[in-house]
Amino acid sequence: MRHIRSLSLLCLVAFAAIVGSGVGCGTKGSNYVGRWECSSGGVGDFFEIEENKGAFLVTDETGTTYPASLDDKGTLVISGVPLMGSLPLPIDSSSHELICSACGCKRYKKVK
């Protein structure tokens, strides 16, 4: 009987740890949400990124909105980009800048 009680307590602790690990941490890609403007001061170059029911919407300076999602590495990937299909937008871990290899402005800083 003592063994069963210990096992039940262990299961309860494991369940609480699993549930608790997802509470209060925010969405995995929440560091992308906000307005990103060109780091070099380029006029009009920006991305507005919003979360939308577990996915993301990315609006560029022209007002065009694209769907986006996180890949298995946690990088935001925009879908439906003309002539490209998809476009990854990683964040530089040292400078915290958004990197866009195919954009006129290559790096964006988060302003809000």
The answer to whether residues 3 and 11 touch, using CB atoms and an 8 Å cutoff, is: no
- Which residue did the predictor score with more confidence, 20 or 5? 5
- Residue 112: what pLDDT? 75
Q: Is the pLDDT of residue 7 over 80?
A: no
Mean pLDDT calculated for residue range 21-34: 63
Give pTM, 2 decimals: 0.71
Fold of 27-110: Lipocalin (2.40.128)
Q: Which helix (H) or strand (E) holds 49?
A: strand 46-52
Phi, psi of 82 (to 5 degrees): -55, 135
- Residue 23: what pLDDT? 36
- 110 falls in which pLDDT band (50, 70, 90)? very high
Region for 15 from its dihedrals, namely left if φ exceeds 0, alpha if ψ lies in -120 to 50, beta otherwise: alpha
- Which residue did the predictor score with more confidence, 1 or 39? 39
